[in-house]
Structures are given as structure tokens and as C-alpha cells.
Amino acid sequence: MKKIAVVILNWNGIKLLEQFLPSVIQHSTEAAIYVADNASTDGSVDFLKNKYPQLTIIQNKSNFGYAKGYNEALKHVSEPLYVLLNSDVEVTENWLSPIISLFEQNSEVAIVQPKIKDYKNKAMFEYAGAAGGFIDKYGFAFCRGRIFETIEKDRGQYDEVTPIFWASGACLCIRKTIFWELGGFDEDFFAHQEEIDLCWRAFNNNYQAWYCPDSTIYHLGGATLNNTNPHKTFLNFRNSLWMMLKNLPPYKLFPVLFIRLSMDGLAGIRFLLQGKPAHLWAVLASHFYFYLKLFYFLNKRQSKQYQKYYKTRSIVYKYFVKNGKIFDSQFNNSL
């Protein structure tokens, strides 16, 4: 049995498989490669069986989304290290070796993320992960190399191996034992923010996530649901609130959530001023579902909740008021 498994989740993504799977096969000889199919109807499974018979195909019974799709598929994966890889990712030569080494050299490392760059502009970091993720006090996610819509060029400024708070779902590497100890992804999320929730639960259980700059991948991004889709806005706002409800320290829970809900309201007004009323309605709908599931998610809270989960008090204030567009030394001593 190999040490590591690369597991690609697919739903009606035959064109992405045609484009990106060859690089995975070419550069992942250390790994067992799986494609987990979420009941595609576009001929993806037949394509894989005919073109790549050496792969292992896991067929889910329905389109379970990212969270349940992986939870179901990973029940059939025996390797001790999982790499959950999006179907729109091009990998590079020797991308897995540094990840395996990081796991082997430090038993405290539970989760690893490689350097994620933009497939369309390979000099730039990519939105979904960049050089490792963090959140602010109010649950807003940002990355080294990407804060809101400002994305940095890779100049080697983030080339040190370092702890991070969350690893991107575009390429999330995790020990099998820890994934299942944590209960896997929260299936209520369906898609978006579930990887941050998983990493937060790992953090609350004293496990560490690390960034591995010696491994590079290129992510297309937005292949399943792009940023202009109001449904993506809905999922991001709703799931972020659910994530905070589950993981915030007890004495911070309701004060921080109150402020976050207010800030979401300002975001909704901003969408309206930008001529995006559908996104405003998406924010309002996310709050409705948050209240609808309030007590349900309160019951999901674990006994371990820690205070200092954030890098900066408010990335919104830093970005929009103080013009802090890049991750810099001001963040380094705050986690």
C-alpha cells in the first residue's frame, strides 16, 4: 500500500478531467489516485474507465456536494495520508514529496497545504488558498497572498514552511486518522467554508495546519461555481456564520456573532450599491438559514474552544479603512 492517496472529486466535469488529470497522473507516481464521482451524467465515469483504467473510481450515489461527497468517498480509501484535490488543478513535478516529508518529519502536523497559484496567470497567487489561510476575529477568511480581491504576485515572499490556520479545499492534505477523528467534513455545509470549519476543529483539538511552499500547484478556480453566482455568495455567508457558531470560544460567541451579522448587513448594502441585488438577497437568505438552524448548530459545539484563533481583529477594517492590501509583518506576531 502506498503512503498517500490523491482523491479528486468530480461532478459533470469531464472537460476538466480531460484537461487536468494528465498532469496528476504524470507527477503523482508516489500516490494511489482515486476519482470520486458525484453521480455525474456527462459521461465522466465511462471516460475514466476507457481512458484511465489504472485509476480507482469511487461512485457516489448522488451529487453530495464537496463535504458529503468526500466523506462518502474517503470511506473507500485506505492510504494513511489523504490529498483532496480539485478537478481543476494542474500539479507540478515532485509536488507530493515535500508534503510527504513534512508529515513524516513532524508528527504534530495534521494538515498541509501547498503553494496555490493561478492557472491563468502563473506568476500570481490564486484566490482560493494562495500561501495559506487565516481568519479575523469575525470569521472573515483571507490568505497570505490574497486579501479580499487583492491578489499578490509570487516573488518568493511566502517561501518559508510555516503554521497556518486553514488549508484550502482546492488541495487539502490531511492524515486519515485525524480526518476521521474530527468526524470529517460537516455535511450540512454542502460546499464552501467546510475546509475552514474542519481546520478550526483541528485547531481546537491542538492539531496543526502547515503551509508547504516547496510544493506548487496551479488552480483554475471557479470551475464549479464562480464568484458572480449569488448561490456562492449565499453559501459563503451562511456557512461562515454556521462555522463561527460551532467553533467560537463561549464568552465571545454572541458578541462576535452580533458584530459579524451587522457587518454582513453592510456587505449587503454594498452589493446593492454595486447593482447586485441578487447578492443582497443571498446575504439575507444566508441570515434566515442561520437563524433557522441556530439551536441545531449550537448543539454541534465541542467542549474544546480556544480564544486566539485569529490573526487580526478585523481584516475588513485593515483592508477598507487602513488600506492594508497585502499580508505583511503586522500579522506575524498575532497568532
CB neighbour list of residue 208: distance below 8 Å, 6 or more residues apart:
108, 109, 110, 111, 163, 202
C-alpha grid cell, residue 260:
459579524
Q: Report if residue 315 sits inside a domain.
A: no
- Each residue's pLDDT tens digit, 146-182: 999 899 999 999 999 999 999 999 999 999 999 999 9
Judgement on whether residues 62 and 179 belong to the same structural domain of the protein: yes
Judgement on whether residues 259 and 137 belong to the same structural domain of the protein: no
Planar angle of CA 10, 286, 305, nearest 5 degrees = 85
Q: Report if residue 185 sits inside a domain.
A: yes
Q: Pick the closest to residue 152 from 132, 174, 180, 178 (CA basis).
A: 132
277 lies in which domain range? 230-304
pLDDT at 329: 57
Q: Report if residue 314 sits inside a domain.
A: no
Q: Report if residue 27 sits inside a domain.
A: yes
Q: 219, 241, 261 — which closes off a domain?
A: 219
Judgement on whether residues 32 and 150 belong to the same structural domain of the protein: yes
pTM (predicted TM-score): 0.94
If one counts the domains in the chain, the total is: 2
Judgement on whether residues 111 and 198 belong to the same structural domain of the protein: yes
Judgement on whether residues 37 and 184 belong to the same structural domain of the protein: yes
Judgement on whether residues 213 and 261 belong to the same structural domain of the protein: no
Asked if 191 and 67 touch (Cβ cutoff 8 Å), the reply is yes
Three-state DSSP at 125 gives: strand
Judgement on whether residues 154 and 247 belong to the same structural domain of the protein: no
Q: Pick the closest to residue 241 from 286, 202, 278, 292 (CA basis).
A: 286
Evaluated on CA atoms 98, 104, 108, 110, the torsion sign reads: positive
Give the C-alpha distances (Å, rounded to integers) separating 225 from 20, 86, 125, 220, 252: 18, 13, 19, 12, 33
Judgement on whether residues 149 and 270 belong to the same structural domain of the protein: no
- Each residue's pLDDT tens digit, 262-305: 999 999 999 999 999 999 999 999 999 999 999 999 999 987 77
Quote the percentage of the chain above a pLDDT of 70: 96
pLDDT at 234: 95
Q: Report if residue 107 sits inside a domain.
A: yes
